Every structure is written in C-alpha cells, then in structure tokens.
C-alpha cells in the first residue's frame, strides 16, 4: 500500500498511483482508515456525489485550535448545503466572473513589473521572483491589503495549508494554529475598518452583500477572505511551477512555449494543471451508505479523490504520462469538480494565461539551471525553488 510520507513517493508519486488505478476500483488504506479513489471515473464521482460531504471535524483540544477550527467550519470549502449554498451565493455576488475578468489589466501591469525586475538580473527564481508574488499581489489588491504587509500573506497561507497533508508534524501543527490566529485577527481589523470607511475592495463588498435577507457573519467573512487568498494563489503558484519544470524536461514542449507562447498558452495551462496537478488529495465523508466504483462506502467512512492520479488515467487521456501542451480536449479535474470546484480556479487560470506567455515572450531564451527544489508535501504539490536564467 502507498506510503504518502515516503520521500521517494512524494518526489514521483505517479508510478505508485498507476498501480493503484490498475486495481480498477477504490482501495481501502488501512493506515489512513479511508478509501482511495484513483481512477478518473471514481475520483470525479467522489467530488460530485451528493451522498459524500466535505465534513469538517474540529481538531482537539478545541481551545488550542479555536481559530483554526472556525476558519474551516465557517468556510465554503468545509461546509455542505444548505450552509454551503448560502455562503457560495453570497460570495458569488461579490466575487464573480465579471469581477475576476476586470482584474486582467491589473494582472498585466503586475506581470510587467515583475518581468522588468527579472530583466535587471541574469539569474532568477521562477517561484520567488514570478510565480509566487503575482497571485499574492493580485489577491492583496483585490482585498486592498496594505502593500507593506504583503510579505505576511504567503507564510500565513503556507502554514495553514500544511494541515491538509496526510500527517502534519507537531511543528507544522503549532505553526498552523499561530498563523490562523494571526491571520484571522489581521483580517478582522481590516473588516472593522472597512465597515466604518467602505471602499470598492472585496472586503468592503463582502461586508454589505446580501441575498434573500442573509448576510455573512463576522467569522464567515474572515474565513472567506482567507480562503480566497489560500485558494487564489496556491493553485496558481504550484500549477505554474510544476508545469514549467515538466515542460523544460520535454524539449519539444519547451520549444513550443518559446516559439509562439500566446498561441499555445490556453491549452498549455490546462496541461500544466493535468500533467502534475497542484492538488492531489481531497477527502469526503459518506453522509449515508453509497457506492463509488462498485465499492460500498458506509455512512461515516471517508474516501479520497486522488486528483493527480485521475489526471493520468489511461482510459481518459492518450499517452497520459507524456506532456502535450496542445492537448485538446483535456477533461482534467485539477481544480476539483462539483460544488467544491476550486473557488480560486478562474482567477488562477486568468493569471497563468497572462503570465505564462508574457514570460516567454519577454525572455525567449530563458532556461532552467541547476536543480529545482520540490516542496516535501504530497497533497499540495509544488516547488520551493526553480532556478533559471534569461541568458
């Protein structure tokens, strides 16, 4: 059975996941006490099945985990209908497709500023100098976070999302509790300020948005803002970095990006998200006895949608272990599916569709140098450092 903490598995999980898919149905993992859905059909069904819920179980002792617990129990990600329906409808009034699309000019400006900075150096880090600061700056602008405090956001986010791993260390747990408390207090102060002096930022709009007489309460508003930061940049950073490294390893695909980046960018982004998914592990709990892939999941049991495995399913994708930046159609589930489809997915797509071709158009002779440093995590898969040179 797979060991999700094994460094060799984390470095390259795909051979192990292929063996899991070969079983042809969800498999019980004794150590984790849950089922693993590795095939595209089953992983997709897990995400869409109404008998499977995203049920948050408060961490204990609850007094130590108080802020962390309510940040999750009052978020869209960890709630189910009817609460999820109410929250999503309220948030959608303020954070919708029109608002996201309207960010394009600002994303282009921020992209150019980052590229200008890179141009002053011969060597740079794809993550630290480009993939990471762009989405953080976009979300900070959306929520009107003070520019001088942007440096706080990514560390808070990374500390919190490490709790989504299979077995977070005591050090990670302590950091997550501290980050949840600090982040929540910071956003609450901003919320109080915006209620007194509202602007056009998303925090101000979330504070006043109303649907059928319902509004977001204080905890729900704070949880939504923090979820937007976490979901709005983790997928973008990791999807971009994973794709860049994978493309560099395939000379034909790298040359495609160099020769005409704007022509290939839309399908390239989708292949980035499919080939080496930024999110691999998303669990659901049976709210009643149900069946996935012919296996009975009893009420109260958990089953995990293995998104990265689903995106390499041989029955769905031709040559799934080969990157093809022109792959079309590409029915990957890199951003999930169903009611918990990634809230930040549309924004991440917009950011990458602007930033990817812009990078290669500005630096067509860019190459990666040395060894990229992989984050030692499975659920949220990405790189800490990708050294490159613009030649």
Q: Check if 171 is active-site.
A: no
Token pair of 188, please? 């609450």
Determine contact, residues 234/153, Cβ cutoff 8 Å. no
* Dist CA 328 CA 119 (whole Å): 34
* Dist CA 53 CA 283 (whole Å): 9
Backbone dihedral angles phi then psi of residue 106, each to the nearest 5 degrees: -70, -40
Residue among 75, 79, 157, 236 flagged as catalytic: 236
Q: Check if 259 is active-site.
A: no
Q: Percentage helix, strand, coil, to 5, in the chain?
A: 55, 10, 35
User: Which residue blocks in 197-260 are alpha helix, DSSP H?
Assistant: 202-208, 218-248, 251-259
Instruction: Give the up-direction half-sphere exposure of residue 325: CA atoms within 13 A in the CB hemisphere.
Output: 27
Q: Check if 225 is active-site.
A: no
Q: Check if 301 is active-site.
A: no
Residue with tokens 């140098």: 369
389 forms bridges with which residues in the sheet? 123, 367
Task: Compute CA distances 215 → 104, 205, 209, 218, whole Å.
Answer: 28, 11, 6, 10
305 forms bridges with which residues in the sheet? 37, 282
Task: Compute CA distances 351 → 109, 166, 301, 307, 367, whole Å.
Answer: 12, 29, 37, 22, 21
Residue among 351, 358, 372, 388 flagged as catalytic: 351
Residue among 80, 234, 270, 271 flagged as catalytic: 234
Nearest to 151 by CA among 169, 133, 131, 170: 133
* Dist CA 57 CA 80 (whole Å): 13
* Dist CA 167 CA 213 (whole Å): 41
Residue among 231, 247, 286, 310 flagged as catalytic: 231
Token pair of 149, please? 């405090």
Residue 314's CB: how many other CB atoms inside 10 A?
Answer: 14
DSSP letter for each residue of 83-96: HHHHHHHHHHHHS-
Q: Check if 246 is active-site.
A: no
Length of the chain: 391
Residue 19's CB: how many other CB atoms inside 10 A?
Answer: 12
Residue among 342, 358, 372, 388 flagged as catalytic: 342
Determine contact, residues 60/301, Cβ cutoff 8 Å. no
Q: Which sequence positions are flagged as catalytic?
A: 231, 234, 236, 342, 351
């Amino acid at each position: 059975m797979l060991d999700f903490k094994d460094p060799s598995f984390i470095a390259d999980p795909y051979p192990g996941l292929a063996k899991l898919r070969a079983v042809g149905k969800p498999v019980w993992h004794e150590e984790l006490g849950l089922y693993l859905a590795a095939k595209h059909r089953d992983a997709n069904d897990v995400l869409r099945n109404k008998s499977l819920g995203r049920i948050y179980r408060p961490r204990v002792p609850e007094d130590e985990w108080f802020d962390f617990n309510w940040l999750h129990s009052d978020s869209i990600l960890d709630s189910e209908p009817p609460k999820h329906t109410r929250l999503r409808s309220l948030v959608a009034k303020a954070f919708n497709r029109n608002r996201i699309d309207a960010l394009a000019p600002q994303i282009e400006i921020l992209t150019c500023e980052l590229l200008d900075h890179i141009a002053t150096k011969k060597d740079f880090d794809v993550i630290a100098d480009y993939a990471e600061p762009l989405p953080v700056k976009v979300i900070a602008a959306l929520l009107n976070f003070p520019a001088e405090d942007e440096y706080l956001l990514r560390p808070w986010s990374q500390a919190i999302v490490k709790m989504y791993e299979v077995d977070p260390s005591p050090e990670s747990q302590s950091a997550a509790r501290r980050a949840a408390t600090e982040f929540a207090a910071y956003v609450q102060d901003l919320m109080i300020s915006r209620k007194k002096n509202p602007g056009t930022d998303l925090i101000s709009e979330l504070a006043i948005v109303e649907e059928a007489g319902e509004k977001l309460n204080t905890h729900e508003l704070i949880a939504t803002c923090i979820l937007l930061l976490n979901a709005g940049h983790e997928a973008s950073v990791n999807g971009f970095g994973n794709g860049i490294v994978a493309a560099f390893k395939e000379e034909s695909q790298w040359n495609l990006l160099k020769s005409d980046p704007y022509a290939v960018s839309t399908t390239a982004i989708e292949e980035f998200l499919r080939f080496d998914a930024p999110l691999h592990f998303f669990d659901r709990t049976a709210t009643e006895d149900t069946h996935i892939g012919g296996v009975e999941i009893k009420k109260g049991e958990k089953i995990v949608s293995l998104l990265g495995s689903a995106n390499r399913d041989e029955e769905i994708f031709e040559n799934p272990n080969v990157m093809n930046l022109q792959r079309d159609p590409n029915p990957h589930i890199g951003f999930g599916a169903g009611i918990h489809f990634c809230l930040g997915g549309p924004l991440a797509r917009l950011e990458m569709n602007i930033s990817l071709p812009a990078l290669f158009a500005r630096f067509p002779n860019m190459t990666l140098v040395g060894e990229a440093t992989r984050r030692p995590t499975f659920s949220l898969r990405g790189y800490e450092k990708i050294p490159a040179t613009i030649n």
